[in-house]
Structure 1
Amino acid sequence: MAADKDAAFVLPRGATGLFQSKDGPPPEVDRRTFRTALYAAARAAKGQVGRVEEQAHPRSFHTATVVARTGEDVILCHAHHPWIAFAEELRDWYTDEFLTPPPWAHVFADLGFEVLDRVRLTTPLTDVDTSVLTQGERRDIRFYGITTLGGVLFNSWD
């Protein structure tokens, strides 16, 4: 059954990349699966994998590029949940600089990732279920002025 694109996005534990040690670390996306999907996507794009950078504190995501005749695509992979996004350029954090996924993005979905489109990522936080966020996460959202779902998911907060 297809997911309802109009349904509220529910943020699970680990969505911000922040966690309290007493709760234990959030889940981790398998890096090997991401790399497998990345190389399959590059083949589907008739291109090659460019730069790959694994998540490092405080960033909440891995980054990669696929270089093809049509240009370079920037891919973001959340470090704790199997979410994929596409962006205009490589950065340490994002708010609303997301792109519509290219036609070959289905390769990520075929390998178990959820490809988030620009509309979903620029959804205002007022339309997102944030009930699991801790007080500290809410404080960081206010401090950094984050107002979109994508800003919460693809961040570099300390």
Structure 2
Amino acid sequence: MEDSQVTFLLELGVTGFRDRGDPPLPSTDPQTCRAAWYAAARAAGGQVEDFTEQEYPQNFHSATISDRDGAHIALFHAHYPLIAFVGDRRYWYTDEFQEPPTWAAVLTDNGFVVLSAAQLLLPLTESDTSALSATEWRQIKHWQPDTLGATLFNSWD
């Protein structure tokens, strides 16, 4: 897991939007996400309840593992290997982010960046947004996300 004191760099297209002339957005393969989620379930001693692929306008896949501590819900970013944990399923998120369980380190071992609640709840102004496009800035100005997490995991259309 990353240190919350390090400024988070938002990559071009991380909002799910791009300028017409920009290259296509990268894609986080749902099968890769699913495989990592099953590995996490084994590490947790739990079972995968579901894995739901991203549907427009959401820019994230979602998944649930149930173990002896209850249900754990993760959001897998559809374009970058980023993961956030949340308390429940919603259409969009603003400040509902949670700390990842200890077994989430398995997701890091599988090439994902597991974000802490502290990182996700930081104001967007505390992140490095220099790589974002004009189109992304128009969306940010329109939707006015308060946090890094609300910017990264969104349902903007």
Same fold (TM > 0.5): yes
Q: Which runs of no fewer than 5 residues in structure 1 stay unpaired? A: none
Secondary structure of the 1:36 match is helix
Q: Which runs of no fewer than 5 residues in structure 2 stay unpaired? A: none
Distance 1:4 1:104 in 2: 17
Specify the alignment match of 2:79 in structure 1. 80
Trace 1:111-122 onto structure 2 (pairs within 5 A).
111-122=110-121
- AA matched with 1:90: R
- Residues 93-123 of structure 1 deviation map (CA, whole Å, 9 limit, x = unaligned): 1111100000110010011101000000011
Specify the alignment match of 2:124 in structure 1. 125
Secondary structure of the 2:48 match is strand
Distance 1:135 1:104 in 2: 38
Secondary structure of the 1:126 match is helix
Trace 1:81-96 onto structure 2 (pairs within 5 A).
81-96=80-95
Secondary structure of the 1:107 match is helix
- AA matched with 1:139: R
Across the two proteins, how many residue pairs are aligned to each other?
157
Distance 2:76 2:30 in 1: 9
Distance 2:64 2:2 in 1: 27
Specify the alignment match of 1:32 in structure 2. 31
Q: Percent identity?
A: 49
Secondary structure of the 1:140 match is helix
Distance 1:131 1:77 in 2: 23
RMSD: 1.5
How big is the shift at 1:3?
A: 5.8
Trace 1:39-50 onto structure 2 (pairs within 5 A).
39-50=38-49
CA contact (8 A) 2:10 2:127 kept: yes
Specify the alignment match of 1:150 in structure 2. 149
Distance 1:54 1:131 in 2: 29
Structure 1 window deviating more from structure 2 (87-96 vs 72-81): it is 87-96
Q: Which has the higher contact order (CA 8 A, sep 6+)?
A: 2
Specify the alignment match of 1:104 in structure 2. 103
- Taking a change above 3 Å as real, the CA distance of residues 4 and 97 of structure 1, as seen in their structure-2 partners, is closer
Trace 1:39-78 onto structure 2 (pairs within 5 A).
39-78=38-77
How big is the shift at 1:132?
A: 2.0
